């Protein structure tokens, strides 16, 4: 079935319902285009601030190990790729806890993500430090 086949079967005069659909569609597409244009002309610095918080108060014990959430937030205006977080431990007894890296594939603008650490000792006996190490931009 082609449009030419159907051409004779229906008058081309647009009905009210089609005008409504067209009006809503035009408003939606124009709003998106306008927003993108404003974003495009705005300055977006390459340096992106990232906040990393170790939420020791939300620790949970599971089968003898402690799971601690770490909240990572991109406060900048660029999406980060391959964001690496460095986690280190200090304190009286680190319980053999080795420092390590966490990598997040993509973290969008203003986006927040949670990752979880497994610890052998309770986090109150440790000083856990987590900081952003590196990222890539596209």
Partner 1 sequence: VAIAPADLLLRESLLAHVTHPRDFDAESDPHGWREEGRDLLRAVAAGSIVGMPLLYTMEMWWRGTTLSAWHLLALLASSLLINFFFSLFSGFRASYSVGEALSESVTAVALGMLFSVAVLLLIGELTFDRAWSDVLGRILVEAAPVSLGISFANYQVRNKSRDGEDDSSSKSNGADDDPERLQLRQDLTDLAATVGGATLFAYNVAPTEEILVIAARVSPWQQLLMMLVSLLLCYMIIFAAGFRKRTVHVPSSFQSPFAETVMAYAASLVVSFLLLALVGVPDATSSLSMAVSMTVVLGLPAVVGASAGRLIT
- Binding footprint of partner 1 on the chain (CB under 8 A): 1-4, 6-7, 9-12, 14-18, 20-22, 24-26, 28-29, 32-33, 35-37, 39-40, 77, 79, 81, 105-106, 108-112, 138
Of the pair 29, 90, the CB lying nearest partner 1 is at: 29
Shortest Cβ 40–partner 1 spacing (Å): 4
The partner residues of 72 in beta bridges, in order of sequence, read 52, 113
Q: Shortest gap between Cβ of 70 and partner 1 (angstroms)? A: 18
For partner 1, give the closer residue by CB, 23 or 95: 23
Distance, in Å, from the CA atom of 12 to the CA atom of 9, rounded to the nearest integer, reads 9
Give me the least distance between CB of 44 and partner 1, in Å please.
8
8 A C-beta contact, residue 81 and residue 136: yes
CB 97 within 8 A of CB 66: no
Nearer to partner 1, 67 or 106 (CB): 106
**Could you tell me which of 134, 123, 108, 9 has the C-alpha nearest to residue 59?**
123
Closer residue to partner 1 (CB): 29 or 55: 29
SS3 content of the chain, % helix, strand, coil (to 5): 25, 40, 35
With 0-12 CB in 10 A as exposed, 13-18 as middle and 19+ as buried, what is 125? Answer: middle
Give the shortest CB-64-to-partner 1 separation in angstroms. Answer: 22
Our CB check for partner 1 shows the closer of 83 and 87 to be 83
């Amino acid at each position: 079935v082609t449009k030419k086949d159907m051409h004779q079967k229906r008058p081309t005069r647009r009905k009210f319902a089609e005008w409504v659909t067209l009006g809503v569609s035009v408003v939606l597409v124009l709003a998106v285009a306008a927003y993108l244009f404003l974003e495009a002309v705005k300055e977006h610095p390459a340096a992106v601030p990232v906040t990393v918080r170790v939420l020791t108060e939300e620790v949970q014990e599971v089968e003898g190990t402690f799971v601690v959430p770490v909240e990572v937030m991109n406060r900048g205006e660029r999406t980060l790729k391959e964001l690496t977080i460095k986690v280190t431990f200090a304190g009286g007894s680190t319980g053999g806890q080795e420092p390590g890296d966490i990598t997040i594939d993509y973290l969008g603008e203003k986006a927040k993500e949670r990752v979880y650490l497994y610890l052998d000792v309770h986090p109150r006996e440790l000083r856990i430090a987590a900081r952003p190490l590196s990222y890539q931009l596209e």
